Amino acid sequence: MTEAQSNGYKSGSRLERILRDGHFAVTGELGPPQSSNGDVIREKAKILLGYCDAANITDNQTAIVRMSSVGAGTIVVQEGLEPIIQMTCRDRNRLAMQSDLMGAYALGMRNVLCLTGDHQSFGNHPTAKNVHDLDSLQLLQMMVGMRDEKLFQCGDEIKGIEPRFFLGAAANPFGDPFEYRPYRLAKKVEAGADFIQTQLIYNVPRFEEYMEKVHDLGLHEKTYILAGVGPLKSPGMAKYMRDQVPGLDVPDEIVDRMTTATKGIDKEDKKARREAWRSEGIQITIELIQKLRDIEGVCGVHVMAIEWEEAVKPIVEGAGLMPRPEVTALPAASTETGE
């Protein structure tokens, strides 16, 4: 029933068609501003357009209040870039998530990434009450139910157009318990994750270890896995991510490369040092993509260049991922829509 209603696609999003056509997908990331300035979104969308197949629109990332992902996503759609709406369980209960996502669908959004959300203690409203009515798996289940069963979470029928999203989830291959991580991924796939975007990967051998288990469980055949990468801006950032961010694994070798990138450059020449670091950060990302691309089951990369959207172009070009492919046109909808 649902297949007929949806032209054979789950949502028919550009991302879904790219992946289904077997192309190596590229997704980017666009962080909305801490203001109501839509021009910031437009400018970032212009930078990313053409260099990624879709861009994640973050949802109060790191628990800092920003323009809503659906609001920003609306502008992104207008700019011709395809958004992946991030939705966290931290700020909304099941009523709010269903209503916001029905609105997002009506506004032309077709991809959703279902997330738990960073704890509010990390953000700028640490005294806030969090929600966590659902967890990310239950959010996935709810959105699958709305799409494939035409049911609200409570079991009531959606009488009318159901929100049909290509549904994603996050995976952190480096969180603990390490041995459990593939099984947690399996649960997300079982809950209905059509695609997975991973946490930032710097330690490729450890990610390969994780992927071996993913292969054993056959998960790479049931979902599209996009490996997360992101350019480092400085040795300080590399060290901070290595030492301070839980769930991130940055090998010393990467930190050393960032540190030695400024060798031979005058310490006072801050501009040249900054450029050298950024150039090395981009080069490391390109090399990581080339290695990750060879791993069986990696269907694309998710390039997280937060507040450095300009880096996406040289990374995607350097990794040989340009031009981005044209997508298969959507077939005409079946007339059996029941509307």
Interacting span for other proteins (CB under 8 A) from 15-23, 88-96, 252-260, 308-316 = 88-96
C-beta of 104: minimal distance to other proteins in Å? 20
Tokens (6 digits) for 267: 């310490």
SS3 category, 168: strand
C-beta of 4: minimal distance to other proteins in Å? 28
Q: Is 117 in the site for other proteins (CB under 8 A)?
A: yes
**What is the spatial distance between Cα 243 and Cα 259, in angstroms, rounded to a whole number?**
15
In this structure, are residues 336 and 5 in contact, taking their beta carbons and an 8 Å threshold? yes
Nearest to 296 by CA among 200, 180, 216, 201: 216
| Secondary element (H or E) of residue 55 | strand 54-57
Please report, as residue ranges, which positions from 158 to 217 form the binding site for other proteins (by CB under 8 A). Answer: 170, 172, 175-177, 180, 183-184, 186-187, 190-191, 199
C-beta of 126: minimal distance to other proteins in Å? 10
Task: Determine which residue in the list 97, 101, 113, 134 makes contact with other proteins, applying CB under 8 A.
Answer: 134
Based on CB atoms, which residue is closest to other proteins, 15 or 137? 137
C-beta of 99: minimal distance to other proteins in Å? 16
**What is the spatial distance between Cα 198 and Cα 246, in angstroms, rounded to a whole number?**
15
Q: Is 61 in the site for other proteins (CB under 8 A)?
A: no
Based on CB atoms, which residue is closest to other proteins, 111 or 197? 197
Q: Is 138 in the site for other proteins (CB under 8 A)?
A: yes
C-beta of 173: minimal distance to other proteins in Å? 9
Task: Compute the CA torsion angle 246, 84, 117, 282 (nearest 10 deg).
Answer: 20
**Is-cis flag, bond preceding 323, omega within 30?**
yes
Q: Is 148 in the site for other proteins (CB under 8 A)?
A: no
In this structure, are residues 109 and 77 in contact, taking their beta carbons and an 8 Å threshold? yes
Give the CA angle between residues 27, 108, 98 to the nearest 5°: 95
C-beta of 60: minimal distance to other proteins in Å? 14
**What is the spatial distance between Cα 327 and Cα 18, in angstroms, rounded to a whole number?**
6
C-beta of 179: minimal distance to other proteins in Å? 8
C-beta of 170: minimal distance to other proteins in Å? 7
Task: Determine which residue in the list 94, 239, 242, 274 makes contact with other proteins, applying CB under 8 A.
Answer: 94
**Which residues, 6 or more positions from 198, have their beta carbon under 8 angstroms from its beta carbon?**
170, 171, 172, 173, 207, 225, 226, 227, 228, 302
Q: Is 218 in the site for other proteins (CB under 8 A)?
A: no
Q: Is 86 in the site for other proteins (CB under 8 A)?
A: no
Based on CB atoms, which residue is closest to other proteins, 73 or 228? 228
Q: Is 246 in the site for other proteins (CB under 8 A)?
A: yes
Residue 306: C-alpha distances to residues 59, 142, 230, 302 (Å): 13, 29, 8, 12
Q: Is 135 in the site for other proteins (CB under 8 A)?
A: yes
Based on CB atoms, which residue is closest to other proteins, 183 or 222? 183
Interacting span for other proteins (CB under 8 A) from 39-47, 50-58, 126-134, 161-169 = 126-134
**What is the spatial distance between Cα 301 and Cα 280, in angstroms, rounded to a whole number?**
19
Nearest to 79 by CA among 100, 96, 60, 57: 57
Task: Determine which residue in the list 79, 133, 208, 209 makes contact with other proteins, applying CB under 8 A.
Answer: 133
Residue 225: C-alpha distances to residues 104, 213, 268 (Å): 24, 14, 43
Interface contacts to other proteins, rule CB under 8 A? 89-90, 94, 116-119, 121-122, 130, 132-138, 141-142, 153, 170, 172, 175-177, 180, 183-184, 186-187, 190-191, 199, 246-247
